[in-house]
Amino acid sequence: MIKKIILSNFRNFSFFQSEFEKINIIKGKNGTGKTNLIEAIYFCLNGHPFFKNLNRVKKDLNKPTYLNANLINNTVHITINEENIKKIKLNGKLAKIIDLKKQFPCIDYSINSFISFKNKNYMFSLIDRGVFAQDKTIIDKVIEYKKLIKTKKSLIKENNINKKAIKILNEKLTETIKEISKKRVKLVESIKNDVYNCFNKFHKKKLNISYFEGKIRESTLKEELLKRKMFVSLKKDTLKITIDNMNMFYYSSVGEKKITLLCIVLAILKMYNSRGLLPIFLIDDLEGDLDIDVQEMAFEIIKSLPNQIFVTTLGLYNGYNVINLTEELQS
Ligand X SMILES: Nc1ncnc2c1ncn2[C@@H]1O[C@H](COP(=O)(O)OP(=O)(O)OP(=O)(O)O)[C@@H](O)[C@H]1O
Note the residues at the interface with Mg ion (CB under 5 A): 34-35
Which is closer to ligand X, CB of 110 or CB of 170?
110
- 28 in contact with ligand X (CB under 6 A): yes
- 62 in contact with ligand X (CB under 6 A): no
What residue type is assigned to position 111 of the chain? I
- 32 in contact with ligand X (CB under 6 A): yes
Give the chain as a 3 state SS string. CEEEEEEEEECCEEEEEEECCCEEEEECCCCCCHHHHHHHHHHHHHCCCCCCCCHHHECCCCCCEEEEEEECCEEEEEEECCCCCEEEEECCEEECHHHHHHHCCEEEEEHHHHHCCCCCHHHHHHHHHHHHHHCCHHHHHHHHHHHHHHHHHHHHHCCCCCHHHHHHHHHHHHHHHHHHHHHHHHHHHHHHHHHHHHHHHHCCCCEEEEEECCCCCHHHHHHHHHHCCCCCCHHHCEEEEEECCEEHHHHCCHHHHHHHHHHHHHHHHHHHHHCCCCCEEEEECCCCCCCHHHHHHHHHHHHCCCCCEEEEECCCCCCCEEEEHHHHHHC
Give the one entry of Mg ion, ligand X, none that residue 77 binds, where binding means its C-beta sits below a cut-off of 5 to 8 angstroms depending on kind: none
Which is closer to Mg ion, CB of 183 or CB of 257?
257
Stretch that binds ligand X, among 24-32, 148-156, 160-168, 258-266 (CB under 6 A): 24-32
- 33 in contact with ligand X (CB under 6 A): yes
- 129 in contact with ligand X (CB under 6 A): no
Which is closer to ligand X, CB of 67 or CB of 95?
67
Report the first-to-last Cα separation within the chain, whole angstroms: 28
Q: For the CB of residue 312, give the shortest distance to Mg ion in the complex, in Å.
A: 6
Selected from 3, 8, 12, 326, the binder of ligand X by CB under 6 A is 12
- 34 in contact with ligand X (CB under 6 A): yes
Selected from 3, 58, 63, 192, the binder of ligand X by CB under 6 A is 58
Instruction: Restricting to residues 270-289, name those near ligand X by CB under 6 A.
Output: 285
Give the one entry of Mg ion, ligand X, none that residue 279 binds, where binding means its C-beta sits below a cut-off of 5 to 8 angstroms depending on kind: none
Count the residues of the shown chain that bind ligand X, applying the rule CB under 6 A.
Answer: 15
Give the one entry of Mg ion, ligand X, none that residue 36 binds, where binding means its C-beta sits below a cut-off of 5 to 8 angstroms depending on kind: ligand X
User: What span, in angstroms and rounded, lies between the C-alpha atoms of 78 and 7?
Assistant: 10
The gap from C-alpha 284 to its chain's centroid, in whole angstroms, comes to: 12
- 186 in contact with ligand X (CB under 6 A): no
User: What span, in angstroms and rounded, lies between the C-alpha atoms of 256 and 253?
Assistant: 5
Give the one entry of ligand X, Mg ion, none that residue 33 binds, where binding means its C-beta sits below a cut-off of 5 to 8 angstroms depending on kind: ligand X
Integer CA distances (angstroms), 246 to 207, 251, 262, in order = 9, 6, 19
Which is closer to ligand X, CB of 26 or CB of 90?
26
Which is closer to ligand X, CB of 37 or CB of 126?
37
Interface mask (CB under 6 A) for ligand X, residues 197-236, using x and -? ----------------------------------------
Q: For the CB of residue 32, give the shortest distance to ligand X in the complex, in Å.
A: 4
Q: Report the DSSP beta bridge partners of residue 86.
A: 80
- 110 in contact with ligand X (CB under 6 A): no
Which is closer to Mg ion, CB of 18 or CB of 35?
35
Which is closer to Mg ion, CB of 37 or CB of 106?
37
| Residues in contact with ligand X by the rule CB under 6 A | 11-12, 28, 30-36, 56-59, 285
